[in-house]
Every structure is written in structure tokens, then in C-alpha cells.
């Protein structure tokens, strides 16, 4: 009875390290997201995509620019016309016979410095859809960066959860090894007492000693496995590998199926959608280059320069406004080939999306089947543990009264250890299968 109580305490007491605070799975995931460089890089990529979208949206609005011009020319010259009497012509075009005096004309000019400054405003009116397509492309790029961040975070979450589950498994296997070692230690003490009283041969002592040595080796391996699993978890959460941490062995509640079985929630599917939209908008961008470009331009400024007879020809403020139209006429086959290349890229993106969606659906179905099988394996393992517990209890009772040989009792203990290890492995494997299914459904964030 004391032996069974001791075993129960070993198996149901959480394993502890040297740290003071136990880390939960959510805390480990939070630390991993904070310290993982891939997540940081994906966040910077998302910020860059947001700025690109704002820049593309600004193309819809007017643009303001300050302009300044400075020109120098040494050109100069003049225009001279001699004076004299000029005939006067009537309204009917016939000379009246009178005359008028013309004093002559003497104009001299010198260009010199001509400078000016002003503010220019440009507003696109029609660009063939280029600005709209560019904005949609920038918006799709932002969504693509967001889904890339989701995908990176989900990979980090899965990696951290797997490391956490491995640490839980290693801790529970160590508990099983300690419990089995305690069984053999107690049996060794009983066999040695029986040999001293002449009730057991020396061969029984040696047989139990071999089993005890094997259990010591298994216990050492379990301790090393626990140490390595903890180091791997420290690597995932950004802690030094030499840190001693304690974790909460509780794993999340598991359902046979997640809340959704639609692959549209997966970041991989969303990324493919955005890539297809980008390819479609590139077609519209290429087609826009073959259409007229119309814009409204206005400028207000000051112009000074060019002497005429010692006076400035330009010395005043001015305002200009007009419509700018650019119509592409002929550029060999460059624009046509651009459109064809963009259409081919779009068709390629559509085909790749359809193929990858099929693979994602297949992966999800496989993950659901794996979880169903893992659930059955755990149920069978728990039934095996119940049978092994009862078999060990009956074997102990028979061995103590001398109705069962030592070899059968050792076999019952070994079967109990194997059943416990199988249950631990099945429990952790079911959690990992559930995690894979949630990732396949796009529910890991």
C-alpha cells in the first residue's frame, strides 16, 4: 500500500526545476514572439508596406512644388527704323493726300540674367487607371505583409508549443522513470532481506540488480532528456540556454476538431490571394500606359530679367493654368509586350493558387485524420495503463505470499513502466496533432 501511494505521488506531482516561477504555455509564446528576430523582421516589413500604401494613396491628391529658374545669356541686339513723313490712309484704304511725321524707332535689348520663382500645383485628372491600380497594388502589398507576419508568428507559436510539449513529455517520462526505479529499489530491499533469511537465492538478488542498473541508466537518460528539452525551450523564448526554468505541465484543452475547417483562414491562402491580385493589377498598370494621360497644372510666381532700352522686360508676378495631355502614339512593341507579359504572369498566379489551395486542403484533411488516430491511441493507452496498474497490484499481492516467481513480477513491473511511457507519449502526441490541425486551419496566432 505504501508503495502504491509513493508511485501515485511521483506521477501526479508537477516536476520542478530550480527557478521560482513556473512559466505557462501562453507566457512562453509571448516571450517567443517578443524575442524572435523573424517576427521583428516581419513587423518592419508590415510597417514599410503601410507607408507604401499611404504614398500610393497620396497620388490621388494634388501635388505642390516650389520652382526656381535662373538663366544667363550674353545675347544682345537691336532694331532701328528711320523716321520721316508717312502717308495717311482713310477708312476706305485710299490715301487722303495728307502726311504724318514718324519719329523713327530704335530698340536695343540685352538678355543677361533671367530668373524667377513660384509655386506649382498639379492634379491628375485621368491616368488610364494607373493611380487606382497602383493604390490597389500597394493595398494588396500591405495585406501580403500582414499575412506574412501572421505566418511567421504561427510558425514561432508552433515551434514554441512543440518545445514546451517536449519539455512536458521529458518531465513526465522522468517521473515514470523515478517511479519505476523506486519499485525496483523497494523490490531489491525485499529480495536482499529474503536472501539474508535464507528464503531467496543469490541469483534473485543479481537479477533484480541488473534491472535496477538498467533503471538507473533510464533515469539518467530521462534527466538528460529533460535538460535538453528545457534548453531547447529557453532557445525558443530567448532565454540563455543555461537558465533553469520551471514550467506548468498543464496543456490546453483539446477538441477533436477546431472551430473551423476552412482553409481561407490560413495565411498561406491569403498570401496567394494577394499575389494573384497583384498580378491582376499589373495587367491594368501595363494597359494604362497605352491610354492618354490628362492632368491640370497651375503655377503662380515671379519672373525678372531681359533689358529693353534699359528697362526690364519681365518684372512682375504671374499666374498660369492649363491642361496637360500626353497621348502615347508609337513605341515599337514595348507596351504591347508589357501587357502580354503581365497577363501571362496573372494566369500563372491563378494556376499556382489553385494548385496550392488543393495541397492546403489535403494537408488539413491529413491533420484531421492524424488527430482522430491520436485520440484513439490515447484512449487505448489509458486502458492499457489501467490494466497494467491492476496487473501490477495483483502481481505484488501474489509475489508477497510466494504464489508468483520473481521473473513474472519483474515482467509486470516492466509492463507497467511501458504502459506509463506509452500513455505519456500518446498524450503529448495528441496535443501536437491538435496543434498541427489548428495550424492547418489557420487558427494559430
Q: What is the pLDDT of residue 302?
A: 83
Q: Residues 117, 66: contact at Cβ < 8 Å?
A: yes
Task: Retrieve residue 219's grid coordinates.
Answer: 533515469
Q: What is the pLDDT of residue 215?
A: 92
Interval 23-79: pLDDT, tens: 899 999 999 998 888 898 999 999 999 999 999 898 888 888 898 888 887 777 777
By the 10 Å C-beta count (0-12 exposed, 13-18 middle, 19+ buried), 138 is classed as buried
Task: Retrieve residue 117's grid coordinates.
Answer: 520663382
Task: Retrieve residue 249's grid coordinates.
Answer: 505541465
In this predicted structure, the answer to whether residue 21 has a pLDDT above a threshold of 70 is no
The sign of the torsion formed by the CA atoms of 224, 225, 228, 229 equals: negative
Query: In the structure, what pLDDT confidence band is assigned to residue 333 with cuts at 50, 70 and 90?
Result: low
- SS3 assignment, position 325: strand
Closest CA to 339 of 292, 293, 294, 288: 288
Which residues pair with residue 22 across a beta bridge? 246
- pTM here is 0.76
In this predicted structure, the answer to whether residue 185 has a pLDDT above a threshold of 80 is yes
Residues 174-188: b if buried by 16+ CB within 10 A, e if exposed: bbbbbbbbbbbeebb
**Distance in angstroms (rounded) separating the CA atoms of residues 363 and 440:** 7
Domain ranges of the chain: 2-62+121-293+346-440
Q: What is the dihedral of CA 289, 292, 296, 302, to 10 degrees?
A: 80
Of 34-48, 188-202, 208-222, the least confident: 188-202
Interval 248-305: pLDDT, tens: 888 888 776 655 567 888 899 999 999 999 999 988 888 888 888 888 888 888 878 7
Task: Retrieve residue 360's grid coordinates.
Answer: 492546403
For the chain, give the mean pLDDT.
85
Task: Retrieve residue 40's grid coordinates.
Answer: 521583428
User: Rounded to an integer, what is the distance from CA 42 to the centroid of its chain?
Assistant: 5
Q: What is the pLDDT of residue 18?
A: 40
Q: Is 201 left (phi over 0), alpha (psi -120 to 50) or beta?
A: beta
Q: Residues 430, 254: contact at Cβ < 8 Å?
A: yes
Q: What is the pLDDT of residue 182?
A: 93
**Distance in angstroms (rounded) separating the CA atoms of residues 46 and 144:** 8
According to DSSP, the β-strands at 246-247 and 293-308 are: unpaired
Q: Residues 404, 395: contact at Cβ < 8 Å?
A: yes
The residue among 423 and 130 whose pLDDT is bigger is: 423
Q: What is the dihedral of CA 295, 300, 306, 310, to 10 degrees?
A: 150
User: Domain 2-62+121-293+346-440 is of which CATH architecture?
Assistant: Up-down Bundle (1.20)
- SS3 assignment, position 379: helix
Closest CA to 407 of 239, 211, 267: 211
Q: What is the pLDDT of residue 202?
A: 87
Q: What is the pLDDT of residue 413?
A: 92
**Distance in angstroms (rounded) separating the CA atoms of residues 154 and 442:** 8
Strand order in the sheet with 311-326: 63-81, 105-126, 293-308, 311-326
Give how far Cα 334 sits from Cα of 127, 288, 339, 347, 372, Å. Answer: 19, 13, 9, 20, 57
DSSP codes of every residue in 169-191: HHHHHHHHHHHHHHHHHHHHHHH
Closest CA to 188 of 409, 395, 421, 415: 409
Q: What is the pLDDT of residue 256?
A: 63
Who's near 165: CB < 8 A, 6+ residues apart? 251, 428, 431, 432, 435
Who's near 262: CB < 8 A, 6+ residues apart? 441
First to last CA, the chain: 47
Q: What is the pLDDT of residue 378?
A: 94
Interval 82-122: pLDDT, tens: 777 777 777 777 777 777 777 777 777 787 788 888 898 88
Interval 337-395: pLDDT, tens: 888 888 999 999 999 989 999 999 999 999 999 999 999 999 999 999 999 999 999 99
Q: What is the pLDDT of residue 13?
A: 45
Average pLDDT over residues 150-168: 93
Interval 379-437: pLDDT, tens: 999 999 999 999 999 999 998 888 889 889 899 999 999 999 999 999 999 999 999 99
**Distance in angstroms (rounded) separating the CA atoms of residues 367 and 93:** 103
In this predicted structure, the answer to whether residue 19 has a pLDDT above a threshold of 60 is no
Amino acid at each position: 500500500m505504501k508503495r502504491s501511494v509513493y508511485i501515485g505521488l511521483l506521477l501526479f506531482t508537477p516536476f520542478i526545476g530550480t527557478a521560482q516561477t513556473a512559466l505557462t504555455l501562453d507566457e512562453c509564446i509571448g516571450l517567443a514572439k517578443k524575442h524572435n528576430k523573424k517576427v521583428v523582421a516581419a513587423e518592419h516589413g508590415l510597417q514599410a508596406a503601410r507607408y507604401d500604401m499611404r504614398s500610393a494613396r497620396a497620388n490621388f491628391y494634388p501635388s505642390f512644388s516650389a520652382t526656381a529658374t535662373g538663366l544667363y545669356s550674353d545675347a544682345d541686339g537691336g532694331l532701328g527704323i528711320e523716321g520721316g513723313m508717312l502717308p495717311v490712309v482713310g477708312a476706305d484704304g485710299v490715301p487722303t493726300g495728307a502726311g504724318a511725321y514718324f519719329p523713327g524707332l530704335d530698340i536695343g535689348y540685352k538678355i543677361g540674367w533671367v530668373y524667377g520663382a513660384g509655386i506649382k500645383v498639379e492634379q491628375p485628372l485621368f491616368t488610364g487607371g494607373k493611380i487606382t491600380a497602383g493604390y490597389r497594388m500597394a493595398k494588396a502589398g500591405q495585406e501580403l505583409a500582414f499575412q506574412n507576419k501572421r505566418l511567421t508568428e504561427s510558425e514561432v507559436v508552433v515551434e514554441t508549443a512543440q518545445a514546451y510539449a517536449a519539455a512536458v513529455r521529458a518531465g513526465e517520462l522522468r517521473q515514470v522513470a523515478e517511479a519505476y526505479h523506486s519499485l525496483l529499489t523497494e523490490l531489491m530491499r525485499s529480495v536482499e532481506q529474503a536472501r539474508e533469511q535464507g528464503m531467496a537465492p543469490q541469483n534473485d538478488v543479481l537479477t533484480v540488480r541488473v534491472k535496477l542498473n538498467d533503471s538507473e541508466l533510464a533515469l539518467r537518460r530521462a534527466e538528460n532528456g529533460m535538460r535538453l528539452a528545457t534548453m531547447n525551450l529557453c532557445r525558443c523564448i530567448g532565454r540563455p540556454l543555461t537558465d533553469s526554468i520551471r514550467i506548468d505541465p498543464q496543456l490546453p484543452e483539446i477538441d477533436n476538431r477546431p472551430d473551423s475547417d476552412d482553409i481561407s483562414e490560413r495565411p498561406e491562402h491569403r498570401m496567394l490571394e494577394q499575389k494573384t491580385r497583384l498580378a491582376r493589377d499589373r495587367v491594368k498598370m501595363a494597359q494604362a500606359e497605352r491610354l492618354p494621360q490628362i492632368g491640370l497644372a497651375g503655377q503662380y510666381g515671379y519672373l525678372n530679367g531681359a533689358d529693353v532700352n534699359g528697362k526690364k522686360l519681365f518684372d512682375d508676378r504671374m499666374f498660369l493654368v492649363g491642361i496637360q495631355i500626353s497621348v502615347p502614339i508609337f513605341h515599337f512593341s514595348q507596351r504591347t509586350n508589357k501587357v502580354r507579359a503581365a497577363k501571362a504572369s496573372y494566369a500563372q498566379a491563378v494556376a499556382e493558387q489553385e494548385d496550392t489551395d488543393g495541397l492546403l486542403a489535403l494537408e488539413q484533411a491529413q491533420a484531421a485524420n492524424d488527430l482522430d488516430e491520436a485520440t484513439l491511441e490515447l484512449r487505448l493507452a489509458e486502458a492499457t495503463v489501467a490494466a497494467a496498474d491492476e496487473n501490477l497490484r495483483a502481481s505484488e499481492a501474489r509475489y508477497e505470499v510466494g504464489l508468483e516467481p520473481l521473473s513474472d513480477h519483474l515482467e509486470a513491473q516492466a509492463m507497467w513502466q511501458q504502459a506509463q511511457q506509452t500513455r505519456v507519449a500518446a498524450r503529448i502526441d495528441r496535443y501536437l496533432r491538435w496543434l498541427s490541425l489548428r495550424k492547418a486551419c489557420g487558427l494559430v496566432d
